[in-house]
């Protein structure tokens, strides 16, 4: 016991050893961080040298060939591919790599490496082109002369036709600038039109330009003796042929079509075909409009534009071959309307067949051309009608005398059907280009003003008139009161002759009265929603008052053609 206590005492009194000295942290030279994924202490491989290649990427069509030039290569080149979309051959002397695409489409990467380890990766896409952009093209037009704005529109539409996009791609044709002056008959003009066709990942994008040479072919004006009237069934509810007519070189024809979609969408197309073994050339003077749910605006645009195109004989010349020529492919949707007034003249070859067809979206219009005509709707607004000698009227007015009036487009004076036994009727004179000769006389010793007016008597109507070469458009009217078309200042003891042309508007209601009077008519159409307007809204608040439009002043009558003296034989 005593020995144990002595031992414990000595153990408790032992002095502990001093703590170890503090060691300074060693100085370490900075070194690059190891690459991700490398084990600690491992040294990353040097970045391989890069080969210089041209081009740096390859876009190629199936079964086509492309060359890649490799620079800065040492020794032999080796090539590897991920998906084998192309076949590779290498000229080891020149380091030119030839790529030949297979029939497959898609993306791949060509990996090249030389003996020194230098590398290059070249992305490859094997796809079809988004479309074709012709380098040059020729367009034949007619016109005495061809208006600059109209000409620019025709060139743009022509390039859109000859540079179509593949399904799923999108073609964009740059707006064409109108030339500074009209193009006279026999003259030529050149347009460079940029075109882009976006492949949208499905095809190779295309960028280019088409140089279009336009020639104005001198031709005499023509008046078609036949009218193909196509408005039955007016509302389209199924696929098929709405109208079909044959045109020969001996008998030009005018097609007037007017339809709306009943349960769309259902595109409507106007298609030309020829079975002739000889080359067939056709002159086309085309005024078409729509699709638009406002069918009155569609019909008005057709008449207005035709009145400006036809007197100048402004049209295009197309060549028909074995394939059908689609003049229009109009994407109607439900309740939208389309219309057109189109003159056709076969210049060589022929005959040709013009068909108006309706198809479901995605259906080629050419696939229904041989089908029978769709059943009508019972209104019989269809057939072939005689235009020769029809639509020519006269009005004679003398200052101080009674008003001169005429009524047209009524049921009693419709153009005759060439088949007397047929049920088709053109009530409303749709498709008829009407010419009114107006003879004005002022036998008094004082100046006088003669007002030319229209008066609705059949319902809501819009109108366009060409008075001595100047276009006049009237707004929508419905009240049976006179509305001014033009006015003439008549000098004392004078006679004058004016020529007025007009065409009934699709969607408007007829008959219509035209007259000449000394009483000033209404100077302009009322607002469309006013109580006197076309479509008044009974529960709508009255429109805010506006300033009255200025009354159009009379035109100087000497611009019209003087009539022959009373004792001279009349040329009419």
Check: CB of residue 148 under 8 Å from CB of residue 180: yes
Q: Which residues pair with 195 in a beta bridge?
A: 173, 208
Return the pLDDT at 188.
98
If residue 8 lies in a helix (H) or strand (E), which one and from where to where?
Answer: helix 2-12
- Show me where the domains of the chain are located: 52-126, 136-216, 226-386, 392-562
428 — alpha (psi -120 to 50), left (phi > 0) or beta? left
For 52-126, CATH gives 2.60.40.1080
Check: CB of residue 125 under 8 Å from CB of residue 201: no
Name residues whose C-beta falls within 8 Å of residue 348's C-beta, 6 or more positions apart in sequence: 249, 278, 279, 280, 281
The per-residue b/e assignment along 187-218, b for 16 or more CB within 10 angstroms, e otherwise, is eebebebebbbbbeeebbbbeebbebebbbbe
Return the pLDDT at 456.
97
- What is the rounded CA–CA span in Å between residue 485 and residue 463? 10
Check: CB of residue 233 under 8 Å from CB of residue 242: yes
| Grouped pLDDT means (10 residues each) for the chain, 572 residues | 36 40 39 49 66 96 96 95 93 96 94 96 96 97 98 97 95 97 98 97 96 98 98 96 97 97 92 91 97 95 98 97 92 95 96 97 94 95 96 97 96 93 96 98 97 96 97 96 97 97 96 98 93 73 41 48 33 27
Check: CB of residue 507 under 8 Å from CB of residue 489: no
The SS3 assignment for 569 reads coil
> Cis before residue 291, ω within 30 degrees of 0?
yes
* Nearest to 242, CA basis, from 154, 320, 338: 338
Check: CB of residue 497 under 8 Å from CB of residue 486: no
Neighbours of 509 (CB within 10 A): 17
* Nearest to 404, CA basis, from 371, 352, 372, 440: 440
The SS3 assignment for 378 reads coil
Return the pLDDT at 291.
96
Return the pLDDT at 212.
98
Q: How many Cα atoms within 13 Å fall on the side-chain side of residue 170? A: 5
Structure tokens given for 475 = 């707004």
Torsion of CA 299, 302, 305, 307, to 10 degrees: -90
- What is the rounded CA–CA span in Å between residue 247 and residue 284? 12
- What is the rounded CA–CA span in Å between residue 453 and residue 160? 42
Return the pLDDT at 49.
84
Strand ranges inside 321-417, DSSP E: 325-330, 337-348, 352-358, 382-386, 392-398, 404-408
If residue 10 lies in a helix (H) or strand (E), which one and from where to where?
Answer: helix 2-12
* Nearest to 71, CA basis, from 100, 98, 88, 96: 96
- What is the rounded CA–CA span in Å between residue 95 and residue 98? 10
In angstroms and rounded to an integer, the radius of gyration of the C-alpha atoms of the chain is 40
């Amino acid at each position: 016991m005593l020995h144990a206590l002595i031992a414990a005492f000595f153990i408790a009194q032992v002095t502990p050893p001093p703590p170890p000295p503090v060691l300074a942290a060693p100085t370490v030279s900075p070194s690059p961080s190891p690459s991700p994924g490398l084990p600690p202490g491992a040294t990353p491989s040097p970045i391989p040298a890069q080969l210089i290649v041209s081009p740096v990427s390859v876009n190629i069509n199936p079964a086509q060939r492309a060359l890649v030039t490799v620079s800065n290569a040492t020794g032999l080149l080796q090539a590897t591919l991920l998906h084998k979309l192309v076949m590779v051959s290498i000229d080891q002397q020149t380091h030119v790599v030839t790529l030949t695409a297979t029939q497959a489409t898609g993306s791949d990467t060509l990996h090249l490496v030389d003996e020194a380890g230098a590398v290059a990766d070249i992305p490859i896409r094997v796809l079809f082109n988004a479309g074709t952009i012709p380098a040059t093209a020729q367009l034949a037009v007619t016109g005495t002369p061809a208006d600059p704005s109209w000409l620019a529109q025709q060139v743009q539409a022509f390039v859109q036709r000859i540079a179509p996009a593949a399904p799923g791609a999108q073609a964009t044709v740059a707006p064409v600038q109108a030339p500074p002056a009209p193009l006279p008959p026999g003259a030529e003009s050149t347009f460079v039109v940029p075109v882009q066709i976006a492949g949208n990942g499905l095809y190779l994008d295309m960028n280019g330009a088409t140089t279009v040479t336009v020639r104005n072919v001198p031709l005499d004006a023509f008046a078609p003796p036949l009218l193909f009237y196509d408005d039955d069934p007016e509302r389209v509810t199924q696929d098929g042929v709405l109208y079909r007519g044959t045109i020969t070189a001996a008998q030009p024809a005018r097609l007037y079509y007017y339809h709306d979609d009943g349960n769309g969408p259902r595109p409507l197309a106007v298609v030309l075909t020829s079975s002739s073994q000889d080359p067939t050339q056709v002159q086309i003077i085309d005024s078409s409009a729509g699709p638009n749910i406002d069918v009155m605006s569609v019909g008005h645009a057709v008449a207005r534009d035709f009145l400006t195109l036809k007197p100048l004989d402004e049209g295009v010349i197309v060549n028909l071959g074995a394939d059908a020529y689609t003049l229009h492919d109009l994407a109607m949707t439900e309740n939208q309307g389309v219309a057109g007034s189109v003159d056709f003249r076969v210049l060589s070859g022929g005959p040709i067949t013009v068909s108006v067809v309706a198809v479901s979206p995605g259906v080629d219009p050419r696939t229904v051309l041989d089908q029978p005509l769709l059943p009508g709707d019972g209104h019989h607004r269809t057939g072939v009608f005689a235009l020769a000698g029809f639509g020519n009227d006269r009005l004679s007015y003398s200052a101080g005398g009674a008003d001169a009036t005429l009524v047209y487009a009524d049921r009693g004076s419709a153009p005759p059907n060439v088949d007397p036994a047929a049920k088709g009727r053109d009530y409303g004179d749709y498709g008829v280009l009407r010419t009114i000769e107006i003879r004005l006389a002022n036998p008094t010793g004082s100046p006088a003003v003669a007002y030319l007016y229209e008066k609705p008597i059949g319902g809501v109507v819009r109108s366009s008139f060409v008075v001595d070469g100047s276009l006049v458009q009237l707004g929508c009217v419905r009240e049976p009161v006179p509305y001014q078309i033009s006015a003439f200042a008549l000098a004392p003891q004078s006679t004058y002759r004016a020529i007025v042309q007009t065409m009934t508007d699709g969607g408007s209601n007829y008959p219509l009265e035209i007259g000449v009077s000394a009483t000033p008519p209404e100077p302009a159409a009322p607002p469309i929603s006013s109580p006197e307007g076309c479509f008044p809204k009974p529960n709508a608040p009255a429109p805010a008052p506006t300033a009255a439009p200025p009354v159009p002043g009379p035109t100087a009558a000497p611009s019209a053609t003087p009539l022959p003296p009373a004792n001279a034989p009349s040329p009419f």
